[in-house]
Amino acid sequence: MSKGVVTPLASYIARKKVNTEDKHLQALKDEQLALWVADRAHWRDSCPMNADLADSLTLVPVTDDRVATATTDGRCIYFDARFSATLNAEHRRYLQAHLLWHCAFGYLLPNTQGHALWHLAWDHEINSLLLQQGYALPTSAVLFFAKVTRPAREVYDWLLTHPALEQELPTDRLWQECHTSLSSRSSCHDLDFELGTVNRQLTESWRSHTRMLANDYRCTQHLPAPIAERLRGL
C-alpha cells in the first residue's frame, strides 16, 4: 500500500496486452483513462485523503460486458470505457471515490450468504461518507435516508425486512459478481480485464492503510469529525 511506487497510467501501459480490438475502442479507453487520472489530480487539493487512497489502485479501462460499469479487486479499478463515456465529471468522480472507499473499509469480500444485501449496506455507508465529504450523489446512488450515517452492519440487519429491495440497484459491481456473470458468444471480453483474488489478508491490509491515513488527516479540514470517528472503529 505504499504511495508513489508507480503511477496508475504507467502501470496500466506496462501491463497492456497486444490485441486486435479496433482502434476506436482503444482510443475510447485511452480517452477515458486520461479523465480518471485527471480526477485523481483534482483530489490533491479538494480531497487529498481520497488522492492518497487512489495511489494504491491501478486504473484499468476495459470494454468488457462482465464489468458493465466498474469494479475493484483491491489492487485495480476496472471501469468499462463505454459506460464511463456516458458520465459527467461529477458522476465519474463519485464512482471512483465510491470504489476507493470499498477498498478503504475492506468492503470487498461479502459472506456467501446475503452478498446482495451486504453490497447494498456497504454502498449505503460509503455514500453517506461521500455526502459528508461534499460529493453530490447521482440519483441512482444507494442511500437509505432512514439510516444515514449508520454503519453497514446495522443497515444490513435493517434491510432483512426491507419491503422493496428490487428497487435498489448498485451502480458498481463487486469483483465476485463479475466472476459469476453469465456470458455468451456475443459477449465482449477484454484481455486487460484480469481480476485478482480477494482474501482476508488483503482487506485487513486496506483497513490498516486507511487507519494510517486517517491518523495523518485527523484534526484537519480534510477529514470531517464524523468520518474520523467512524474510522476509529476499523
> Is 3 among the domain residues?
no
Cell of 141: 446512488
pLDDT of 2 over the 70 cut: no
Q: Which residues, 6 or more positions from 176, have their beta carbon under 8 angstroms from its beta carbon?
A: 109, 110, 115, 198
Residue 34 has a CB neighbour count (10 Å cut-off) of 13
pLDDT digits (tens, 9 = 90+) for 52-95: 999 999 999 999 999 999 999 999 999 999 999 999 999 999 99
Q: What is the pLDDT of residue 226?
A: 86
pLDDT of 3 over the 90 cut: no
> Is 75 among the domain residues?
yes
| 3-class state of residue 68 by DSSP | coil
**What is the Cα–Cα distance from 168 to 171, expressed in whole angstroms?**
10
Cell of 181: 456473470
Q: What is the pLDDT of residue 60?
A: 97
| 3-class state of residue 22 by DSSP | coil
> Is 1 among the domain residues?
no
> Is 24 among the domain residues?
yes
DSSP readout, 70-113? EEE-SSEEEEEHHHHTTS-HHHHHHHHHHHHHHHHTTTT---ST
> Is 178 among the domain residues?
yes
pLDDT of 20 over the 60 cut: no
> Is 108 among the domain residues?
yes
> Is 117 among the domain residues?
yes
**What is the Cα–Cα distance from 5 to 56, expressed in whole angstroms?**
9
Q: Cβ(213)–Cβ(91) under 8 Å? A: no
| 3-class state of residue 130 by DSSP | helix
Distance of CA 57 to the CA centre of its chain: 10
> Is 125 among the domain residues?
yes
* Residue 40 domain boundaries: 8-232
pLDDT bucket at 10, cuts 50 / 70 / 90: low
Cell of 171: 451502480
Q: What is the DSSP letter of 163?
A: T
Domain tally, the chain: 1
pLDDT bucket at 182, cuts 50 / 70 / 90: low
